[in-house]
Amino acid sequence: MNSDKAHHTAVEDAKRLLGSLAQTEKNLGVMTTYRVGGNAALYVEAQSKEELSQVAVAHQTSGLPVLVVGKGSNLLVAQAGFPGIAVSLGGDFVVSEIDTERAVVRAGGPVALPALARRCASAGLTGFEWAVGVPGSVGGAVRMNAGGHGSDMEASIVEASIFDLATSSTQLWDKRQLRFGYRRSAIGATQIVLEATLQLAPDQDGDAPGMLGDIVQWRRDNQPGGQNAGSVFVNPETETAGELLDRLGFKGFRVGSAQISEKHANFVQADPGGSSDDVDEVIRTVAARVFEEANIELRTEIRRVGFVTEP
């Protein structure tokens, strides 16, 4: 059986197992902050643990790869799309609880970070203000150890509930098991964060709301708007990636419908109606030239899906 026929058979098997849960040829590009990119062969928004378990069975039976999609603020999907099952969380998972007496917060994987940051500040808690400027989800933030303004998820997380689509099992991981690093964790491609528990602190001085405003204003002043996914490259040891790329003259570098921002050199912006392949070409070309010119190997913060080559 050739590869195209085998893939078609696998997709049909998964569709049969998923039934009405599955959407075919769902465009993933519009689900990302780049707003460009291709389709998923199948897409499911799981509303409950039972539906998520169905996705797991379809993945295990068909052999199709899975892609966990949050708010899409750290994702670039190739124009060719994703040949497997893309899955996101909704329904039962969009929950958050704040215990002000213990300063403990429980939030579902799909909960939006800016909304949660504002809720925490309004409840008189501090330690999560940095998240107001990150347009991602709790689950995505745990997976990549998102952060900014001197803090990150590792600083406040206590534990996370992780469902593995490859084994249909749920485990509770503490901070040690999550093995956080700079913009990374131990969470794998088939694993999805159902819920995270955070330990914050009482906002004794009432500074949290003001800090939220300062962070929002700083981002407006220092980072570009438009279609982008925030910082593209992880900071190297000697200087920030933005400083490095600016020093090497990459601001404004363009390939087709994508270019390095004139405002911040570590942002790649996509034109409306553009191509994710152009974005990828900018990333790969810049990384190659930085290695040639500065002998620095850049690593991407964003997740690149469906591309054959690495940057």
Find the angle CA(205)-CA(209)-CA(213) to the nearest 5 degrees.
135
Q: Which strands make up the sheet holding 268-270, listed edge to edge?
A: 254-255, 258-260, 268-270
- What's the pLDDT at 2? 73
- What's the pLDDT at 308? 78
**Catalytic residue from among 88, 156, 185, 231:** 231
Asked if 145 contacts 138 with a C-beta cutoff of 8 angstroms, the reply is no
Rounded to the nearest 5°, which phi and psi values hold at 51?
Answer: -65, -35
- What's the pLDDT at 25? 86
- What's the pLDDT at 3? 84
Q: Is 137 a catalytic residue?
A: no
Asked if 114 contacts 132 with a C-beta cutoff of 8 angstroms, the reply is yes
Q: For the chain, what are the domain ranges?
A: 3-91, 94-208, 225-305
Residue 301 makes CB contacts below 8 A (sequence gap 6+) with 74, 144, 183, 230, 231, 232, 233, 234
**What pLDDT tens digit does each residue of the chain (311 aa) get?**
578 899 999 999 999 999 999 999 899 999 999 999 999 999 999 999 999 999 999 999 999 999 999 999 999 999 999 999 999 999 999 999 999 999 999 999 999 999 999 999 999 999 999 999 999 999 999 999 999 888 999 999 999 999 999 999 999 999 999 999 988 999 999 999 999 999 999 999 999 999 999 999 999 999 998 999 999 999 998 899 999 999 999 999 999 999 999 999 999 999 999 999 999 999 999 999 999 999 999 999 899 999 976 55
Q: Is 16 a catalytic residue?
A: no
Q: Which amino acid is at 184?
A: R
- What's the pLDDT at 1? 53
Q: What is the DSSP secondary-structure string of 18-80?
A: HGGG-EEEEESGGGSTT----EEEEEEEE-SHHHHHHHHHHHHHH---EEE-SSSTTEEE-TT
What are 96's strand-pairing partners? 107
What are 270's strand-pairing partners? 227, 258
Q: For residues 303 and 73, give the distance between their C-alpha atoms in angstroms, rounded to a whole number.
A: 10
Find the angle CA(272)-CA(276)-CA(277) to the nearest 5 degrees.
130
Strands 303-305 and 75-77: parallel
**The CATH classification of domain 225-305, taken from the options 3.40.50.1100, 3.40.1210.10, 3.90.78.10, 3.40.50.1000:** 3.90.78.10
- Domain 3-91 is of which CATH architecture? 2-Layer Sandwich (3.30)
How is residue 260 written in tokens?
Answer: 């390095």
Fill in the DSSP letter of residue 227.
Answer: B
Residue identified by tokens 């009405």 is 20
Question: CA of 18: how far to CAs of 46, 47, 292, in Å?
Answer: 11, 13, 48
| Dihedral-angle region of residue 103 (phi above 0 means left; psi in -120 to 50 means alpha; beta otherwise) | left
**Catalytic residue from among 106, 143, 183, 303:** 183
**% helix / strand / coil in the chain, to the nearest 5?**
35, 25, 35
Fill in the DSSP letter of residue 129.
Answer: G
Say what the alpha-carbon torsion angle 155, 244, 225, 284 is, to the nearest 10 degrees.
-100
Q: Which helix (H) or strand (E) holds 99?
A: strand 96-99
Q: Is 301 a catalytic residue?
A: yes
- Domain 94-208 is of which CATH architecture? 2-Layer Sandwich (3.30)
Helix axes of 208-222 and 113-122: crossing angle, nearest 10 degrees: 150
**Catalytic residue from among 35, 51, 301, 304:** 301
Asked if 20 contacts 58 with a C-beta cutoff of 8 angstroms, the reply is no
